[in-house]
A and B are shown apart, each in its own frame.
Chain A
């Protein structure tokens, strides 16, 4: 409905929905700046009276937290942050890059017949837990266990169906005549796709990249079972903040979670203007 006014009931519903969605984020951000005494105080402390950056310092200097009488953190999170960046970025670039050309092939040239998109997606029909163990066996035989190459390979394998499927729908939405017009105007097939098709699905490309990056960035199961010591990612590191003396270090966990959120928030902000559909409006008659 065009020009629909924001009425009071509508505003209330929206506010409630926002509160439910944003509450966990609020809680994590607050916890990340709480001193250890406030972490699991009862009754709960919503906003700390004395906010501190100790949790963030502890991430990269495990001994920092000792000034509060809490000890037992052994490992800096630096390796995990770098490991996550390496695995997630590389896997996302590969997955989206391969998926993009697969999507164009399927959409424009019917590559592999009509069932191809479904067959590709079928790889995702197993629960990851069910295939994790076979992968451990295969990877250990192949010497890929506890290597970034192995982790990236499995990330690409897992997310490629999503990127192909998503990009395929964006390419399908783009009228093929636009790139064919470029072929008539003097482009070869390949150049028509590179200079016309891909720029015009830019929005979809960003959205897919973001989505695949989130999947890779937050993946826990494979990172856990396919690594011992060389390879470590943020989700795995998060699980390590449990000590015998002080129990779970909620504040430090929250601090790492806040750090992990940052690239997603920044990325989301940067691409949001590209996410709008309707890029091709006006190009064709409807």
Chain B
């Protein structure tokens, strides 16, 4: 099955337009009976924060390990700034990597952990330590330099791992879920810092994460990976607004996108039926729907539904569930044809209870259409 839309991949470089820092072509890797990667191709623009986004098992870690040279690839070509990486040992690739489990040296202090790559590269002990201490200062971890990793907090270990990678000034940084298993708050704080650092040193980052919110927040460009293949390459907002297929639409965004069975009727200038209501065909869908099968799946983001007066509303439904989330609440409603989630102000949600009847309007210009069978985006 062909999932990649050619017009979204390398043909149209997104940032800069110069040659990419890293180019990966037709990467394949098999572990015993499982195909971990199946013809993965993408480019990482110079000085960009590029994010490999995908669910667990999509092949993110495998991709990073192949680029690092830690595992052998079955097929494909990896080039960094024009240099073929084939046959090069990890140490000779000019790449730094942050592992998902951090992999600090447990028997070395914070300072020694950070200074290690420098001393391996022939810097004098004094200079290596001075530069490591400098790096620690930027990362606000000067207080852990004398301590062993086991006495550090999760956030401090994270920063030490970051320091060990950053201190080297390599041509490419690989980060494998660097913020996983940290508390939610710390994660948000550190990801902003990560982006700030990347900007400051204007280095090239390739970061793998299963968290779409993290990808949205920091990425210049997102490579959506699923089931060992690249599904879409786009900037974060494009990925959110124009997901290449149904699964990507569901993966990106919380609360999850509404996927509703819909039918297109060409009569009388064209109408679409969804959630028990009939509506005019929005312009961005018209051309595509005429060509496609009449039955399709409509993707409606929860923020594009709103409560309305019954007179102006398109859809009527009953409240099933209310989820307060601070300033906003998620409302789940249903009728005989569909179940829908929408986001509204917490104050408005407090007036409602499960079982109440509500009326909704839908921002038709923002809906996506997916093929019912293949799940691919029609328009």
Contacts and interface: CB of A to CB of B under 8 A. Distances in A.
A119 interface: no
B101 A175 contact: yes
Nearest to A280: B106
23 contacts: A175-B101, A178-B104, A180-B90, A181-B164, A182-B105, A182-B116, A184-B97, A185-B91, A185-B116, A186-B91, A186-B120, A188-B89, A188-B91, A279-B107, A282-B104, A282-B150, A283-B102, A283-B149, A284-B99, A284-B103, A285-B100, A285-B102, A285-B157
Given A282-B152, A283-B105, A284-B104, A187 B181 contact: no
B101 A284 contact: yes
B91 A283 contact: no
Contact of B70 (A175, A183, A282, A285): A183
B374 interface: no
A185 B70 CA distance: 12
Nearest to B116: A185
A257 B90 CA distance: 53
Contact of B105 (A181, A183, A189, A285): A181
Interface of B: 68, 70, 89-91, 95-97, 99-107, 116-117, 120-121, 148-152, 154, 157, 164, 168, 180-181
Given A185-B164, A282-B148, A178 B105 contact: yes
A178 B70 CA distance: 12
B95 A184 contact: yes
A282 B107 CA distance: 10
A199 interface: yes
Most chain A CB atoms below 10 A, which of B90, B157, B181: B90
A199 B105 CA distance: 11
Given A185-B91, A285-B181, A180 B103 contact: yes
A284 B68 CA distance: 19
Interchain residue pairs A-B with the least CB separation, the first 4: A282-B150, A186-B120, A177-B103, A284-B101
B106 A200 contact: yes
A280 B99 CA distance: 15
B112 to A, nearest CB: 12
A46 B102 CA distance: 59
Interface string A178-217: 1011111111110000001001100000000000000000
Most chain B CB atoms below 10 A, which of A175, A182, A281, A284: A284
A285 B90 contact: no
Contact of B91 (A178, A187, A285): A187
Contact of B120 (A175, A185, A279): A185
A191 B239 CA distance: 44
Contacts of A177: 99, 101-103
Contacts of A186: 91, 117, 120-121
Nearest to B106: A283
Interface string A12-33: 0000000000000000000000
A175 B161 CA distance: 15
A240 B55 CA distance: 70
Contacts of B95: 184
Contacts of B116: 182, 185
A182 B70 CA distance: 11
B107 A175 contact: no
B305 to A, nearest CB: 39
Nearest to A185: B117
Interface in A236-286: 279-285
Contacts of B89: 183, 188-189
Given A185-B164, A186-B120, A189-B89, A285 B154 contact: yes
Chain A's interface size range is: 20 to 34
B150 A178 contact: no
B103 A178 contact: yes
Contact of A284 (B91, B102, B117, B168): B102
Most chain A CB atoms below 10 A, which of B96, B101, B180: B101
A188 B148 CA distance: 25
A27 B18 CA distance: 84
A284 B168 CA distance: 21
A200 B105 CA distance: 9
Contact of A184 (B68, B104, B157): B68
A45 to B, nearest CB: 52
B180 A282 contact: no
Contact of B107 (A180, A189, A199, A284): A199
Interface string A157-185: 00000000000000000010110111111
A282 B149 contact: yes
B99 A180 contact: yes
A183 B152 CA distance: 24
Contacts of B91: 183-188
B118 to A, nearest CB: 9
B148 to A, nearest CB: 6
Nearest to B69: A183
Nearest to B93: A184
Contacts of A284: 99, 101-104
Contacts of B164: 181, 185
Contacts of A184: 68, 90-91, 95-97, 117
Contacts of A187: 91, 120
A221 B374 CA distance: 71
Nearest to B97: A184
B301 to A, nearest CB: 33
Most chain B CB atoms below 10 A, which of A175, A196, A279, A285: A285
Nearest to B148: A282
Given A186-B121, A282-B148, 18 more contacts: A175-B101, A175-B103, A178-B103, A178-B105, A184-B68, A185-B96, A186-B117, A187-B120, A188-B89, A200-B107, A279-B107, A281-B106, A282-B106, A282-B149, A282-B152, A283-B150, A284-B101, A284-B103
A197 B107 CA distance: 11
A256 to B, nearest CB: 41
